[in-house]
Chain A
Amino acid sequence: MFDLTGMTALVTGASGGIGSAVARALAAQGARLALSGSNVEKLEAFRAELGGDHVALDCNLADGAAVDGLVPRAVEALGQLDILVNNAGVTRDNLAMRMKDEEWDTVIRVNLEAAFRLARAAAKPMMKARFGRIVSITSVVGATGNPGQANYAASKAGLVGMSKALAQELASRGITVNCVAPGFIRSAMTDVLPDAQKEALLGRIPAGKLGEGDDIGAAVVYLASREASYVTGQTLHVNGGMAML
C-alpha cells in the first residue's frame, strides 16, 4: 500500500520542519523528488542528507515569475510530475489593527498565490498524464482562526477553497486536489515557547502532546498515493483532536 515507486514529486519549503518530514516520507515510499526552497545552502544540505537522485531547485516564492518557472524546471529535472506538495509558508503575525500592508501581502503571496501558480502550472503535465496529486499544507487556524494571524489564517483558508475548486475542475482527468491541516507540530517554532504557554497549549489537545513532522508526512503520502484516487477536495486534519471539523 501507498507505494510511490516510479512517481515524482515537487515539494516546496522542503528544507523546513514539516517540509523535510514530508520529503522524507515521500522518498521513503519510493518517490523521486524536486526539493524547492529559498535557502540554497540548507536545501543542498538536506538533499545530500536524503541521498538518492533527488534534485534541489531554489526558488523565491514571493517572486511570481520565478514561481511560474518552477514547475517547468521540475518537469525538466524529473521527466514528469505526478505530485505537487504546496508546503512552503511564512508568518507575519500581528494584531489586525497593527498589521501592515506588506505583512498581509507577503503572507498571501507566498502561502496562497504561489500555491495557485504552482497548481496551475502542474495541472498541465498532470492533465496530459491523466494522473496527478496536488496536496497543499494548510493549518488548523485556517478553519478556527487565531488572534494575530488574520493574514495567515486567510491564506490557509484560501488554500482550502482553492483546492475544492481545482478538485472539481480536474477530477475527470485523474487529478486529485486535497489539503492536510496540521495542528501544533513540534518544531523550532514551538520549542522556544515558554513552558506556561506550552502547558496551556497541551491542555487544548486531547492527544496530550504536540504532533511530529512525520504525522504530516504520513498524511501527505496517503493523499499522494494511487490508493487515494477517490479522495478529492478534502482536508485531512492532523491535530491530535484539538479541533474536530
Chain B
Amino acid sequence: MSETADRVKKIVVEHLGVEAEKVTEDASFIDDLGADSLDIVELVMAFEEEFGVEIPDDAAEKISTVKDAISYIDANKG
C-alpha cells in the first residue's frame, strides 16, 4: 500500500469516525462510509492541507471513492 493511501485513509478514519477496515480503496465516501456532501468538502480541504495540493471544484466533484482521492493526489502532488 502506498504512503499516500495510508495518509488518505488515516484522514478519512479521523474525519468520518469510521473503522479503519471499512476504508478500502473501493469504498465510496457517501454510499459506504456514510459521508454527506459537507463531509466531502471537509475531506477535500483536509487532503489539500495534508498533501499541499490544490483540488479544484471540478476535480473534487469527481472524487467519490477512496481510490479516486489517492489517484488524484498521487497525480497532482508536488
Interface size of B in residues (CB-CB distance below 8 Å): 4
Is B59 close to A, CB under 8 A?
no
Complex Cα distance A186/B64, Å?
54
**What is the interface of chain A mostly: helix, strand, loop, or mixed?**
helix
Chain A 165-192 interface 0/1 with B at a Cβ cutoff of 8 Å (1 = within): 0000110110000000000000000000
> At the interface, is chain B mostly helix, strand, loop or mixed?
helix
Contact A173 B38 (CB under 8 A): yes
Residues on B with beta carbons closer than 8 Å to the beta carbon of A170: 38
Q: Does B42 contact A (CB under 8 A)?
A: yes
Query: Total interface residues on A, using CB and 8 Å?
Result: 7
A124 within 8 A of B: yes
Give, as a whole number of angstroms, the nearest-CB distance from A43 to chain B: 31
| Nearest CB of chain A from residue B27's CB, rounded to whole Å | 22
Cβ-based interface call for B18 (8 A): no
Question: Chain A's nearest CB lies how many Å from the CB of B36?
Answer: 8
B residues touching A (Cβ–Cβ < 8 Å)? Answer: 38, 41-42, 45
Nearest first, the 6 closest Cβ-Cβ pairs linking A and B are A127-B42, A169-B38, A124-B45, A172-B38, A128-B45, A173-B38
